[in-house]
Amino acid sequence: MNEQMGVQSTGRQAPNAIWVLRLVLSLIGFTAVIAQVMLMRELLVVFYGNELALGVMLANWLLWTALGAGLLGRWAMRVIHPRKLVASLQTLLAFALPVTLLAVRASKDLCHSLPGEILGPVPMFLTSCATLSVLCLISGGLFAAGSRLFRDTTGAPIATATGAVYLLEAAGSGVGGVVAGLMLLQMSNPFAITAVLGVLNLLAAWAVMAPVSTRRHVMGASFAVMAALLLISGYKLQPLSLARLWRGFDLVAAQNSVYGSLAVVETGASRSLFENGLIVMTVPDPAAAEEAVHFALLEHPEPRRLLLIGGGVNGSVAEALSHPSLERIDYVELDPKIFDVAARYFPAAWRKLRSDSRVHIHSMDGRRFLKSTPDSFDVIIVNLPDPHTAQLNRFYTEEFYREAAAKLRPAGILSFQVTSSENYISQELADFLRCLQHTLRQVFPEVTAIPGDTVHFIAAAKPGTLTSDPQELLLRLRARHLHPQYVGENFLPFRMSPDRMRDLQLQIEALPSTPVNRDFAPVAYYFDVALWSAPFHQTSARWVESFASMSFYRFFVATMLLLAALIPLLWLWPASREDKS
């Protein structure tokens, strides 16, 4: 009776009550999109930071949301008091947000993984499916319950009410996306974000129930207590969950940037920076710093201008500066937060980098810098991770190599490194390396590859520039008075021994079927994913490789046929009572 009186009263108050209801329903989309962005970033830290992992996680998100809308939607159409249902779901949602975030972070420990370890596709699917289930079921159910409440409040047909709620939810999602991108994701405490969203949903639950409640003051006090508990837990759970997420390491700092989640951990005398769960750099790491720059700089007879894209804070810039002929180094990083983190948590390495006037730092995309700079370079070094993601793959494509070649001086050199194997080259690894070398040769007349646990590809703009003779490089090393530990007198002759160089070249020589890696045909990205998948299951690796060789036309036709096959299911889906009427 109270519910019916409330509806009638709402009808008489029309404008104000309906606008409040519209705001409440918009909050569904606002909450969902912020929670989605935040939880996807957290799941990337637990698993593998690429687009395929995101696809698996989003598939689970959509699956559970659809189930929530479908299952709870049938209940919402039969329930007597839709206001109570909406208020209850929003209250549950408020507390499900921090619980889900806590479950995501705890899942890494349950999977028995270490920071930086890549998990297989099966645990990725199962864990994201389990952790997202409750939150997405509630979020999907809220849409159905909100449609019923909007119908009862406005008297509109159910189809009209559903469409209106869909538009309101979409508007809330748009606002939530802007707020998340510009403000919330800069916060270092995701639990504080969940607390704010929880308080907003508790306030909405109170606004929904207030018109029909006979004990408004008691109900308001209860919601205020729950909101206070959420805010307190938002700050208490952050350090506890981070300690569990990075168990086994001394977590120094954790913060967000627009490009990902950053974490600095300490192990003994070294510190490492992780982005989205994958290691970016370790300081000190003299082997990585030396190899990143010395191979390429020694191949050039007298390098004066160097462009370093990524990875300079770990000591690479300092190693490059030891070459006496260098007059200028342009060091480019996409994420400006990396510079802030370096200045605060890697102070010694940062001071070395900033103290030399020859070093010029740029915070922008490497390809954009290459296109916009009027300068030319003797050496361009790409010191980035393997093409694990589509974004990183842009630095391993024919288009990028052409942009780099256009900015090289006549005897200029381009160099990059990718993860390999010291001795055994598997089929998946050979396909990956073969694709990169074949792509390089589309642009550069001379290409060489130096074997090791990382393969260094070096390409020259002019034939006859490069040398595979380690003794020639040792002469340049001595002439420049360099004394590196890992690219020096003892290691260089072994690393570039003729039999090792020849064996690697035989294994990665291009085949007639070897594709070229391009911006809009990122096959190296697919080969890298296949290489990642192979240790977990050979079938999954072969499946990924099949996509790499599939043309866009075949993929489009296969997708259309699959969608056409699903159409008969719509005719078999049972209609609700409202549809029949």
pLDDT in tens, 362-405: 999 999 999 999 999 999 999 998 998 888 999 999 999 999 99
pLDDT above 50 for 9 = no
pLDDT of amino acid 123: 78
Q: Tell me what percent of the residues of the chain surpass a pLDDT of 90.
A: 50
Buried b (16+ CB within 10 A) or exposed e, 469-500: ebeebbebbeebebebeebeeebbeebbeeeb
* C-alpha distance across the termini of the chain, in Å: 26
Q: Taking Cα atoms as reference points, which of 424, 365, 423, 375 lies closest to residue 395?
A: 365
Computed from CA positions of residues 397, 401, 402, 407, in that sequence, does the dihedral angle turn out positive or negative? positive
pLDDT above 50 for 265 = yes
Q: Contact 524/436 with Cβ under 8 angstroms?
A: yes
Mean pLDDT of the 530-547 span? 59
pLDDT of amino acid 437: 97
Q: Contact 83/2 with Cβ under 8 angstroms?
A: no
Per the model's pLDDT, the better-predicted residue between 544 and 388 turns out to be 388
| Residue 113: band (very low, low, confident or very high) from pLDDT cuts 50, 70, 90 | low
Helices then strands, counting H and E runs in the chain, come out as 23, 11
pLDDT above 70 for 90 = yes
pLDDT of amino acid 220: 66
Locate 132 and state its tokens: 């997202």
The total of other beta-carbon atoms located within 10 Å of residue 167's CB is 14
509: three-class secondary structure by DSSP:
coil
Write the pLDDT tens digit of every residue in 134-148: 999 999 999 999 999
Mean pLDDT of the chain: 85
| Residue 299: band (very low, low, confident or very high) from pLDDT cuts 50, 70, 90 | very high
132 Cβ neighbours under 8 A, 6+ residues apart: 39, 57, 60, 61, 64, 100
The total of other beta-carbon atoms located within 10 Å of residue 327's CB is 10
pLDDT of amino acid 159: 86
pLDDT above 90 for 356 = yes
pLDDT above 60 for 516 = yes
Q: Tell me what percent of the residues of the chain surpass a pLDDT of 70.
A: 86
Is the backbone peptide bond immediately before 284 cis, with ω within 30 degrees of 0?
A: yes
| Residue 327: band (very low, low, confident or very high) from pLDDT cuts 50, 70, 90 | very high
Q: Name the amino acid, one letter, at 302.
A: E
pLDDT above 80 for 94 = yes
Write the pLDDT tens digit of every residue in 270-283: 999 988 777 888 99
pLDDT of amino acid 48: 63
pLDDT above 60 for 214 = no
Token pair 């690697």 in the structure block, residue: 504
pLDDT of amino acid 171: 95
- Indicate the burial class of 129 (C-beta count within 10 angstroms; 0-12, 13-18, 19 or more): middle
Per the model's pLDDT, the better-predicted residue between 182 and 477 turns out to be 477
| Residue 267: band (very low, low, confident or very high) from pLDDT cuts 50, 70, 90 | confident
pLDDT of amino acid 578: 45
The total of other beta-carbon atoms located within 10 Å of residue 427's CB is 14
The strand pair at 270-275 and 260-267 is best described as: antiparallel
pLDDT above 90 for 472 = yes
144 Cβ neighbours under 8 A, 6+ residues apart: 68, 69, 70, 72, 73, 76, 77
| Residue 560: band (very low, low, confident or very high) from pLDDT cuts 50, 70, 90 | confident
| Residue 298: band (very low, low, confident or very high) from pLDDT cuts 50, 70, 90 | very high
pLDDT of amino acid 1: 39
The total of other beta-carbon atoms located within 10 Å of residue 277's CB is 26
| Residue 565: band (very low, low, confident or very high) from pLDDT cuts 50, 70, 90 | confident
Cα dist. 203→20, 208, 566 in Å? 11, 9, 41
What backbone torsions phi and psi does residue 188 show, to the nearest 5 degrees? Answer: -85, -5
Per the model's pLDDT, the better-predicted residue between 67 and 550 turns out to be 67
Locate 370 and state its tokens: 């290459």
pLDDT of amino acid 446: 97
pLDDT of amino acid 11: 42
| Residue 73: band (very low, low, confident or very high) from pLDDT cuts 50, 70, 90 | confident
- Indicate the burial class of 563 (C-beta count within 10 angstroms; 0-12, 13-18, 19 or more): exposed
Mean pLDDT of the 312-321 span? 93
The strand pair at 305-309 and 278-283 is best described as: unpaired
Mean pLDDT of the 484-495 span? 90
Mean pLDDT of the 459-476 span? 94
pLDDT of amino acid 107: 84
| Residue 340: band (very low, low, confident or very high) from pLDDT cuts 50, 70, 90 | very high
pLDDT above 80 for 175 = yes
Mean pLDDT of the 176-193 span? 79
User: Which of 352-361, 450-459, 570-579 has the weakest average pLDDT?
Assistant: 570-579
What gap in Å lies between CA 230 and CA 236, rounded to an integer?
Answer: 10
User: Which of 65-74, 273-282, 337-346, 562-571 has the weakest average pLDDT?
Assistant: 562-571
